[in-house]
Structure 1
Amino acid sequence: MYRLLMVDDEKIVIDSISFIIKNNFPNIIYESARSGKEAIEKASYFRPDIVLMDIRMPGLNGIDTIKELKVNFSETMFIVISAYEQFEFAKEALTLGVIDYILKPMNKNTLIASIEKAINKITKEREKRAKELENLEKFQTTLPLLEHNFLYSLIVDNKNFTITEEYKKLLNIDKLGGYLVAIDINSKDSNSISPSIYYSMRDLLKYKYKCLIGPLVLNRILILINSEPNSSTTDIGNYIIKNLSVLYSSISFKIGIGSYKPLEKIFISYEESLIALRSLSNSNESICHINNIENISVYSSDYPKDVEKKLIEFCTLGETDESLKYFNELFNWIQKNFNNNLMKAKTTLIELLVVLHKSLIDSNINIFYNNEYINSILELQNLNELELWFRDKISSSCVEIRKGHRKNISKIIINAKKYISDNYSLDITLDEIAKEACVSPHYFSRLFKEETGENFIDYLTRVRINKAKDLMQNSNISIKEICYKIGYNDPNYFSRLFKKVQKVSPTDYLKSIMIK
């Protein structure tokens, strides 16, 4: 729907324009004004999309009225009507962005064409704005996922760390470093730890800090504060607890804060934040900065990160034997270092659980651990129970992951076959269908061969030839037309393919059908 305001001091002109609009533009609602002053008053509540403005009126003339209206209605389209073909009027009207200049007496078709021109411009602007809003909404939906992946790559896969200018703009990163904040969320009622906490945390922190916020995994959220080396970190913990405690009175928070590090070494700040967090486990305090912990060296630990990485890699692939092999190596290290400290062993494995859970989520595998698993770990009585519990969960998870991979592969091939069936008449390429399946061409080609027993081109050819045979049997169109209908542009090439598959030329095949 469009709103149009007619401004002219002659009633007969208003009546004529009203009649034309009523009979030609059912999608326009209209108002009229007999002076510039009245036009400004009516526009304040009518908010016109189009204004038909007479130049010569008593009091405020048309040009001055347009100037006043443009202040508050910059997107309104103006069409000037004048009984005078004066160059100066036309020139000034054009400088104001007027889209048309119509001379009185008005021609009906000229007026209709001018209004249609204005409607087309408005429609295009509305579509453009709607597209911009749609893109903005998509971006706002995607942005948390980009943050999660980027933060995860800094912490877990830091050897492959890169940051492009595009990423800096997307994530609003303008500093070369920062510090990690790890927040544990605790509640007597585990159901009260809901996703809403993540969004509350996000709104709260984005308002005050330049930061990246990781997802809520189990009961922990990681935050990267993007800052200068000498920036203060003393207030962030108090700020979070003060504001979130008001929203979630039944929940308590423990906050560990690492030291400033360059982005490529932010994983060290992450490890520090976890150490600070662990120091609060038997304390009434809620906040700890790594600098407040005495006699601790972050670099003294020989924790086998490479073994952990291998464990995660093979578990994500669903490889049970390899996963257990690297878990055994990792657990041997835990036994050696924490043989007399069961809680430290549990904490280390819980942190492994979080990293593994995040890795599986990033790989679109959503069958892994939950809050009940954490409770189960805390109830275990010794290292033997701890080892057996983890071995069992890794083994059963690998089985489920393999099943998930198989289902996913089958779904990809089913969708690919449907796509070929629906689009065989088009110029389908392997790259195109791999893109539809959201996998690489090389991976798709291998999967297709494994699942169907034939390569992509042979399968597509068979579908097309079968369709050609069907057309020969059930239509009267020529072989040449059939060639074009099934996706080939060269009849000679089609004939060669047909003979290769059917051991007979299309012409001979057609003759055999006619004989029957």
Structure 2
Amino acid sequence: MQISRQEDQMISVMIADDETLARVGLKTMVPWEKYGFNLVAEAENGKVAMDLALQLKPDIIITDIKMPLLNGVELISALRERLKETKFIVLSSYGDFDYVKEAMRIGAEDYILKLEMEPEPFVELLNKVKGKIEAERSRHEEERADEWYKRRNLPALREKLFQDLLFSYYINEEEVRVQFDYLDINLHAENLVCLLVRVENRELYEKYGVDDRYVLTYGVTNIIEEILQNYPPAYVTSTNTMEFAIIHSIGAGSETETKHAVEKLAAHVEGALKTFLNFKCRIGISEPCSRLRELKTAYRQASTALDQGFSELKRTIHHYQRQFDASLTVGFEEEFKQIEKAFHVLDGEMLTEAFDQFVRKIDDSRFNKSEESLRGSCWSLTFMVTVWEKEFTGEDLDRTAPLSSLEQLRTLDDFRNWILELKDKVISLLHNIDDGNNIVARAKKYMLEHYDKDISLKTVSQQLNISPNYLSSLFKRTTNENFIDFLIQARIEQARYLLKNSGSKIYEIGMKVGYPDAYYFSKIFKKVTGLTPQEYRSLQK
């Protein structure tokens, strides 16, 4: 039998009752099609009802509670696991209360007393069940569409998430965990290590056209992904031209075991790229970390490890050395921090000074430099700028110049001029940010400068001459973050710095970051970091 589109969109109904008059009464009581229902079958006993239900899969089954062969309760019990989307309405008499109660317990939507059945309340019940069915259908459609979108865009969505982890200013770990679940990423926040794979013989890459370069990048990523299947959980993302970051959770183990495991993975990747693509590569390895927000630091450590090992021509795998003599290789950690802070509060003067300091370090003869380390730092700067502009303007940074020229830089003058050109571009963009973002930026700047004081939404809004409610709403809308969460994060970040780099007592540090109550400071610090201040300080030693 062919079913029309209109019938297919209707809610299909089957009636099961051993009394002929009852079935006839139900069929003639209401104009079914008028209300969007299609009567597809009727059954005179429970056995026939079950056979028809399995064949037709109706949306609603209206069943008598007492029937031959199978009663209503038995019918519902037999069908509820096989027809999960079918809804049941029970017909009963006054003496059937125990049966009705059992039917409701195992999944019936509602029941009707035969002797009291009237068209209006009956239609009302049908429409209620119909609404539930349509809502479930709509939800299932949305879930299918979402699943289709996820499958189609999974690589791009994962790459975006991992690049946010490596380059974004602020990471909400709870939100990241939600994204992990959605994108089927099984990455544990314990013994997280970043390996940075950098291809050395880039001339092989540069001889290809744009389309072929994309295919080549995909090929490298695919080879690494195949290898990572033997080292779960681990994921790879492209971070630069012929540069790939691997995020690997090694699990529990001693320092020696961890080092051996990550070196084994690095050697496997290096060997495969040499065998299949004739690519020579060097791999930098970070220290292990235990929080997702620390992956940004881990990425920088892996990049620094490559810089630290630049002069070691015979070695291709380099571990980050915390005690490395910083005078041997130029580093821009403080400049990155200042630029991040300037981006966060939209401070043009601070941004200009940070970029200028970047250039002064390049010009400083006390520092050894390499073309590769400078290019890596400039790419990190590029990602920071891109993420910042996307956050505040909703647009991606124009990649025509100076970004597209980065691969052509060869001399110190080239790098200096590129950074100065990027600075001018960023300062120009800074002037175009709308007033709403400027208000939030001024609020952030005030909090970062006065976090050690007793400040609140009210005091900050007074400084800006706006209402607390407006500031709260604008802050949430602009940053997708609550005012108080930002303030807490700013205070705890400074507390972490002081715990790590000063000898002040814990209660003194609490006072310095705006928490005069030592107990409350410890409570907030542990809520944010998972550790007490004392535990955190002990881990830094």
**TM tier, shorter chain?**
0.5 to 0.7
Compute the displacement of 1:429 (Å): 5.7
Deviation by residue 1:145-193 (Cα, 9 ceiling, x = unmatched): 665444436xx78xxxx97667667657643331002345874233456
Please list, as runs of the form range in 1=range in 2, the aligned pairs for 1:93-108 lying within 5 A after superposition.
93-104=103-114, 107-108=117-118
Specify the alignment match of 1:179 in structure 2. 193
Greater CA drift, 228-237 or 37-46 = 228-237
Please list, as runs of the form range in 1=range in 2, the aligned pairs for 1:278-357 lying within 5 A after superposition.
289-290=317-318, 299-302=324-327, 303-311=331-339, 313=341, 317-319=347-349, 321-333=352-364, 335-338=365-368, 342=371, 344-357=373-386
Compute the displacement of 1:75 (Å): 4.3
Specify the alignment match of 1:22 in structure 2. 31
Please list, as runs of the form range in 1=range in 2, the aligned pairs for 1:83-482 lying within 5 A after superposition.
85-104=95-114, 107-109=117-119, 110-123=121-134, 148-152=163-167, 171=180, 174-183=188-197, 187=205, 188-191=208-211, 209-210=232-233, 216=239, 220-230=243-253, 232-233=261-262, 256-263=283-290, 269-274=298-303, 289-290=317-318, 299-302=324-327, 303-311=331-339, 313=341, 317-319=347-349, 321-333=352-364, 335-338=365-368, 342=371, 344-364=373-393, 366=395, 368=397, 370=399, 376-380=405-409, 382-395=411-424, 397-405=425-433, 430-431=470-471, 434=474, 438=478
- The CA distance in 2 between the partners of 1:11 and 1:238, in whole Å, is 79
- The CA distance in 2 between the partners of 1:213 and 1:274, in whole Å, is 15
- The CA distance in 2 between the partners of 1:252 and 1:179, in whole Å, is 23
Deviation by residue 1:388-440 (Cα, 9 ceiling, x = unmatched): 34323433x1353134326986999xxxxxxxxxxxxxx99634763686269
5+ long unaligned stretches in structure 1: 413-426, 444-516
- The CA distance in 2 between the partners of 1:46 and 1:242, in whole Å, is 59
SS in 1 for 2:245: strand
- The CA distance in 1 between the partners of 2:399 and 2:104, in whole Å, is 66
Compute the displacement of 1:330 (Å): 2.2
Deviation by residue 1:448-486 (Cα, 9 ceiling, x = unmatched): xxxxxxxxxxxxxxxxxxxxxxxxxxxxxxxxxxxxxxx
User: Does the C-alpha gap of structure 1 residues 69 and 237 become closer, same or farther in structure 2, counting only changes over 3 Å?
Assistant: farther
Please list, as runs of the form range in 1=range in 2, the aligned pairs for 1:4-23 lying within 5 A after superposition.
4-23=13-32
Q: Give the conservation status (yes or no) of the 8 Å contact 1:254–1:280.
A: no
- The CA distance in 2 between the partners of 1:119 and 1:403, in whole Å, is 55
Q: Give the conservation status (yes or no) of the 8 Å contact 1:55–1:82.
A: yes
Compute the displacement of 1:67 (Å): 1.2
Percent of aligned pairs with the same amino acid: 16
Deviation by residue 1:258-314 (Cα, 9 ceiling, x = unmatched): 1441236656643453256679999999x95435x9xx7773234242134335655
- The CA distance in 1 between the partners of 2:130 and 2:231, in whole Å, is 44
- The CA distance in 2 between the partners of 1:336 and 1:32, in whole Å, is 90
Q: Give the conservation status (yes or no) of the 8 Å contact 2:76–2:107.
A: no
Letter in 2 for 1:152: F
Letter in 2 for 1:400: S
SS in 2 for 1:326: helix
User: Does the C-alpha gap of structure 1 residues 48 and 190 become closer, same or farther in structure 2, counting only changes over 3 Å?
Assistant: same
Deviation by residue 1:18-58 (Cα, 9 ceiling, x = unmatched): 33353475311232142333332332343222211123434
Q: Give the conservation status (yes or no) of the 8 Å contact 1:36–1:62.
A: yes
- The CA distance in 1 between the partners of 2:47 and 2:139, in whole Å, is 33
- The CA distance in 1 between the partners of 2:112 and 2:237, in whole Å, is 60
SS in 1 for 2:419: helix
Specify the alignment match of 2:183 in structure 1. none
- Scaled by the length of structure 2, the TM-score of the pair is 0.57
5+ long unaligned stretches in structure 2: 1-9, 181-185, 441-466, 484-541
Specify the alignment match of 2:50 in structure 1. 40
- The CA distance in 2 between the partners of 1:243 and 1:58, in whole Å, is 70
User: Does the C-alpha gap of structure 1 residues 174 and 45 become closer, same or farther in structure 2, counting only changes over 3 Å?
Assistant: same
- The CA distance in 2 between the partners of 1:164 and 1:408, in whole Å, is 27
Q: Give the conservation status (yes or no) of the 8 Å contact 2:303–2:376.
A: no
SS in 1 for 2:303: helix
SS in 2 for 1:59: coil
SS in 1 for 2:420: helix
SS in 2 for 1:337: coil
- The CA distance in 1 between the partners of 2:149 and 2:40, in whole Å, is 38
Q: Give the conservation status (yes or no) of the 8 Å contact 1:212–1:224.
A: yes
Letter in 2 for 1:182: L
SS in 2 for 1:405: coil
